[in-house]
Amino acid sequence: MFRHFASAVALGVAMAVVASPLCAQDQKGTLVFAVESLGAQTLDPILEGRPGNAVYQAVMYDSLVGFDLAKGGVGPGVAERWELSADGLTWSFFIRPNQVFHNGDKLTAHDVKFSLERQMGPGSLASAAASMRRTIKSIEVVDDLTVKVNTNNPQLGLPAGLSRAVAPEGAIMPKNYIEKVGEEEFRKKPIGSGPWKFVRNVPGDRIEFTAVTTPHWRGRPHFKDLHLLLVPEESTRVAMVRTGEAAIASIGPETMLSATRGGLEVLSVPGTMQAIFQFWGTWKPELKDSPIAKPRVRQALSLAIDRKQVIEHVMNGRARLPHPFATFAYTEYFSAARWEKWAAEAYRYDPALAKKMLAEEGYPNGFELRFANTALPGTQFMVDIGTAIADMWTKVGVKVTLKHYEWGSFAPMERGDQAGLIGWASMYRTAGRPDAPWRYDGAFSPESTQRLLGDKDNCGETCQEYVKTYRALIAELDRTKRTALTDRMVEITSNSWTVVPILEGMGYYAINTRRVGQFEAIPGRHELGDVFERIPRPEQKPWKK
């Protein structure tokens, strides 16, 4: 018995000794990725927003809740599972055992508590810091592998909010290390628990990482090094991929054709965003006689849009018909198949019916519509979509006054009395995320910034119905009832035609197939920060011709 035990121990030790160098030998070359923005280019998660976190911080930090890699949306992360207490006020997260930071320290529940508190603390620029402070009552460490988050009221979306599928606030940082070296030193020499270790950060130029040599639950990288290069100009990024200076580059739909003609592979990531148009202040008393105050007029404008043409010509065929507003195939507690069928019918192109409906509503010769065309940074194709749909509305008799806004000047107009937008339609977008209620609250709640259905003083029938459904939804613990309530919320808002999806967009990458092997991105997640470790070298998995 003792001999067997001794042999097993000896074998284990030998394997451990041999495994590391072998693993290291198996990791070769440098994976070079050219990207248009490195955000704040800081390796401290509390100082970065969502896109930057998902591009480069995700490389070296793990998130409390992770991804469903195949379907998109939420899946296991640092926590392998989580459960809600019967009263809906406490989430317990069960930490995956044997996780370590890059300095060898064990990752425990203490690090999770420390990280969440740091995200909520003073000095944090986390976008949800204030919301977290309001909703999270306390965080308790039960044991090394269990942490409880107590909330002030039921927060069913909390795990999604701590998943990189949605937000960066779940990034786990090393408590002992930060307390020992201080914040300043941590920012210079950051340590995480992800599959890549930090090497160098050259502001305005690049960030370099090297692969961990031990197995990692996200996957052990196939490349030895990873360089993320900041290359703002898209043509230059594509040129770099063509010359082999970079293996992968982020591109927009407008560059897809030239990349393909240049012999590059184009990878599409499904469900990363929706391009939408929406109407501002339709519920306001002063707009009661405006054509856009009538839901059937708004619906007619949707019927006048040939979405397939937009997909074909603006998005080069790499987009799809959308689900209803802010919902995707991976949306949680949502009857995706049913709504996909509904959307195919509702978002069809029928200009004859559009004209008929406009005539029935008293506008046989159309009307004047002011339309604000805008795009978030990095989504310039949105302006082309806006221009295309304005042209389509013109064809059914609507006289469109089109005004272009840079996003930085458009965003402030949403706030306050929205004077510059009341009575206008505008382009907008919504990012791909699995928790629909959060996005709906931002668009439709009478207390929200956008308040598209009404405000506290003017909350009509649809607005009240929405508020009632939303409140029931966020308090509902039963899965089936929650799905029914989400469907109802989607139904109310879809039938109001206040926010109308145009298409479901994708993320696009130009790839040099001589530099990297075939890989897939995570549905709904444009950025590749959680994908790099799974990208094979070209000889490991060549691209299919």
Partner 1 sequence: MKRYIARRLLQGVVLLFMVATIVFFLGRLTGNPVDLMLPEDATAEDRANLTQTLGLDGPLGEQFLIFAGKALHGDLGNSIRMKQPAVDAFFDRLPNTLVLIPWALLLGMVLGIPLGVVAALNRGGLLDRAAGTIAVLGVAMPSFWLGILLIFVFSVELGWLPSSRMGGPAHYVLPVITLGTFLVAGFMRITRSAMLEVMESEFVKLARIKGLSETAVIWKHCLRNALIPVLTLWGVFVSNLITGAIVTETVFAWPGIGRLTYEAVIYRDFPLLQAVIILKSILILVINLGVDILYAYVDPRIRLA
Residues in contact with partner 1 by CB under 8 A are 39-42, 47, 49-50, 122-125, 127-131, 134, 187, 202-205, 229-233, 235-236, 239-240, 242-243, 245, 262, 376-377, 406-409, 411-412, 415, 428-431, 438-439, 442-443, 447-449
Query: 135 or 213, CB closer to partner 1?
Result: 135
How far is residue 175 from each of residues 171, 245, 514, measured CA to CA in Å? 12, 38, 41
Pairwise CA distance, residues 274 & 524, whole Å: 10
Q: Is residue 15 within a helix (H) or strand (E), and if so which, with residue range? A: helix 2-26
Single-letter amino acid, residue 180 = K
Q: Supply the minimum distance, in Å, between the C-beta of residue 441 and partner 1.
A: 8
Q: How many Å separate Cα 314 from the centre of its chain?
A: 22
Concatenated DSSP letters for 277-288?
Answer: EEESSTTSGGGT
Pairwise CA distance, residues 352 & 362, whole Å: 16
Query: 78 or 259, CB closer to partner 1?
Result: 259
Single-letter amino acid, residue 243 = T
Q: Are 37 and 232 spatial neighbours (Cβ–Cβ below 8 Å)?
A: yes
Query: 449 or 495, CB closer to partner 1?
Result: 449
Which residue is it, tokens 């996957």? 219
Query: 50 or 175, CB closer to partner 1?
Result: 50
Query: 155 or 430, CB closer to partner 1?
Result: 430
Q: Supply the minimum distance, in Å, between the C-beta of residue 486 and partner 1.
A: 16
Q: Supply the minimum distance, in Å, between the C-beta of residue 240 and partner 1.
A: 5
Q: Are 399 and 455 spatial neighbours (Cβ–Cβ below 8 Å)?
A: no
Q: Supply the minimum distance, in Å, between the C-beta of residue 527 and partner 1.
A: 13
Concatenated DSSP letters for 340-405?
Answer: HHHHHHHT---HHHHHHHHHHTT-TT--EEEEEEEE-TT-THHHHHHHHHHHHHHHTT-EEEEEEE
How far is residue 155 from each of residues 151, 160, 163, 340, measured CA to CA in Å? 7, 10, 14, 27
Q: Supply the minimum distance, in Å, between the C-beta of residue 368 and partner 1.
A: 28
Q: Supply the minimum distance, in Å, between the C-beta of residue 131 and partner 1.
A: 6
Q: Supply the minimum distance, in Å, between the C-beta of residue 173 and partner 1.
A: 16
Query: 141 or 383, CB closer to partner 1?
Result: 383
Q: Supply the minimum distance, in Å, between the C-beta of residue 474 and partner 1.
A: 14
Q: Supply the minimum distance, in Å, between the C-beta of residue 62 and partner 1.
A: 21
Query: 241 or 354, CB closer to partner 1?
Result: 241
> Across-strand partners of 267?
509
Residue 25 backbone zone (phi > 0: left; psi -120 to 50: alpha; other: beta): alpha
Q: Are 106 and 99 spatial neighbours (Cβ–Cβ below 8 Å)?
A: yes
Query: 400 or 453, CB closer to partner 1?
Result: 453
Query: 435 or 476, CB closer to partner 1?
Result: 435
